Amino acid sequence: MILITGGSGFLGQAIRNHLNILQVPSLSLGQSSVNEIQCNLSNEIPKIQEVDMVIHSAGKAHKVPKTDEEKADFFKVNVQGTENLLAGLENKSSLKKFIFISSVAVYGITEGTEIDENSPLNPTDAYGKSKIEAEQIIQHWCKAQNIEYYILRLPLIAGPNPPGNLGAMIKALRKGFYFSIGEADVKKSMVLANDVAELIPSLNGKAGIYNLTDGYHPTFDELEKGMAKALNIKNPLKIPQMVATLIAKIGDILGSKSPINSQKLKKIQSTLTFSDKKARAELGWNPSPVLDNLDKIVTSKP
């Protein structure tokens, strides 16, 4: 039997669909639906029957916290939630494999190329720090329990009806509100949700930590033009670099009321890619380029 946490989330749904929803009960974060064990992991220890594999996909998503309370929520959900889950799994003799969905945010960098699993972990935000703590707790527990573990560090996840920045980008393109900045030649790592879902059942014998990407790392220009083509619309208008810089400086003055500032602009215009060579060599990871799947991603309806 397989148990997944966060089964109603974007990636969790893809995993459940691939593994066959009737065979995969889901441990929710206080929500209740078909095949779910209702339990708020952030403050409860779940009652779990014997399972063979656990896929821990639940967690608080990456966003910029505005208050100390919001910062604390990352640790409450991502760290305490993990500890409570493991407490519920104590002495489960059938458990052989634990898979944790982590994030490249643990590296704490905004610029670089081919960052691998041996790179330093230096996050400055609560999300990255909470993910590192969860990783460490899982590794220690699994080693003590003699359980095979896989920690999958993911970049931006793509798929039909994506959330976050990718979903906002598609929505803006549809409405004609999206503008390309400068040459748009910076690269960003991405990965398809379905490719991650397909990998999970095959994980066997090479326990450890792995970055997963599509291996291509598309540029913003490729994404913008590819999405426009899939949506059957014109390529987005371009904002000259000087104009974008000026708008960002105005945003610095306006503060939180502005959707863009110099720091955000620099992040958008910095190449950040991660190496998946270890996963290819040890796990047989062979993903599809995100660019080859843009038709499915942008034309899906919620």
Tens of pLDDT, residue by residue over 144-158, are 999 999 999 999 999
Provide the CATH topology of domain 2-159+188-213+272-283.
Rossmann fold (3.40.50)
CA distance 239 to 245: 10
With pLDDT > 90 as the criterion, what percentage of the chain qualifies? 58
Q: Which amino acid is at 272?
A: L
As given in the structure block, the two tokens for residue 217 are: 């790392």
Angle made by CA atoms 251, 252, 258, in degrees to the nearest 5: 35
Mean pLDDT, rounded, for 25-32:
56
With pLDDT > 70 as the criterion, what percentage of the chain qualifies? 91
As given in the structure block, the two tokens for residue 105 are: 């945010």
pTM of structure: 0.91
Helix then strand then coil, % of the chain, to nearest 5: 45, 15, 40
Confidence band of 30 (pLDDT split at 50, 70, 90): very low
Q: Is the pLDDT of residue 31 over 50?
A: no
pLDDT, position 21: 53
Q: Is the pLDDT of residue 27 over 80?
A: no
CA distance 222 to 230: 12
Give exposure, 208-235, as e/b (b: 16+ Cβ within 10 Å): ebbbbbbbbbbbbbbbbbbbbebeeeee
Q: Is the pLDDT of residue 263 over 90?
A: no
Confidence band of 253 (pLDDT split at 50, 70, 90): confident
CA distance 249 to 211: 35
Tens of pLDDT, residue by residue over 48-63, are 888 899 999 998 886 7
Domain ranges of the chain: 2-159+188-213+272-283
Q: Please name the residue that has the structure tokens 């090479």.
A: 206
Nearest to 302 by CA among 2, 6, 5, 10: 10
Tens of pLDDT, residue by residue over 145-194, are 999 999 999 999 999 989 888 998 999 999 988 888 888 899 999 999 99
Nearest to 83 by CA among 137, 131, 26: 137
